Amino acid sequence: MGSQRRLTHLYGWALMIVAVFCQWCQGSCPEKDLGKREEEANVVLTGTVEEIMNMDPVQNTYSCKVRVWRYLKGKTMVNGEVLLDGGNKVMIGGFGDPGICDNQVATGDTRIFFVNLTPEYMWPAHKNELMLNSSLMRITLRNLEEVELCVEGKLTRCGLHITWT
């Protein structure tokens, strides 16, 4: 009896160690913590990818037309010609950027996007686009809440987000 229980125990521990190790070994792309990401992005929004376009065959990057549901940060910075189709869509570039861990989307994906207005050196090709600044984030209540608290400055430490792929 006793030894069997010990064995089960051992087995449980072994499984846990393997699980933790596998997460760690696969997570070769550590993400900056959320506070840093929020700080670096002037605009944070939730939206759904409607169309993938402007594939760059050399750099393997692309842009997406995204229907915006909500701005979590920087709504007032997004105006003029950045707004498309009557104002509720934007073009976001920089998908596939190897400098960003979670950088791929498909049509129909809904995500939290951390973006910036395109810097002038990328004009004219990317004028009036927003640029992905850090990893895409899945929409969960917890993620939304954490991002909101970060934006409001209510969390001193905004959590470490690591993307396990």
Ligand X SMILES: *[C@@H]1O[C@H](CO)[C@@H](O)[C@H](O)[C@H]1NC(C)=O
List of residues contacting ligand X (CB under 6 A): 40, 99-100, 116, 133
Return the number of the residue (32 or 67) whose C-beta is nearest ligand X.
32
Return the number of the residue (72 or 140) whose C-beta is nearest ligand X.
72
Could you please report the per-residue DSSP string of 99-124? TSSS----TT-EEEEEEEEPPGGGTT
Amino acid at 113: F
> Shortest distance, CB of residue 100 to ligand X, whole angstroms?
5
> Shortest distance, CB of residue 94 to ligand X, whole angstroms?
7
- DSSP three-state, residue 95: strand
Return the number of the residue (116 or 163) whose C-beta is nearest ligand X.
116
Return the number of the residue (90 or 100) whose C-beta is nearest ligand X.
100
Radius of gyration for the alpha carbons in the chain, expressed in angstroms and rounded: 20
Show the 3-state SS of 32-82: CCHHHHHHHCCEEEEEEEEEEEEEECCCCEEEEEEEEEEEEECHHHCCHHH
Question: How far is residue 158 from each of residues 38, 57, 148, measured CA to CA in Å?
Answer: 9, 36, 10
Return the number of the residue (42 or 143) whose C-beta is nearest ligand X.
42
> Shortest distance, CB of residue 5 to ligand X, whole angstroms?
51
> Shortest distance, CB of residue 99 to ligand X, whole angstroms?
5
CA 32, 33, 39, 45 dihedral sign is: positive
Tokens for 27? 């997570």
> Shortest distance, CB of residue 113 to ligand X, whole angstroms?
13
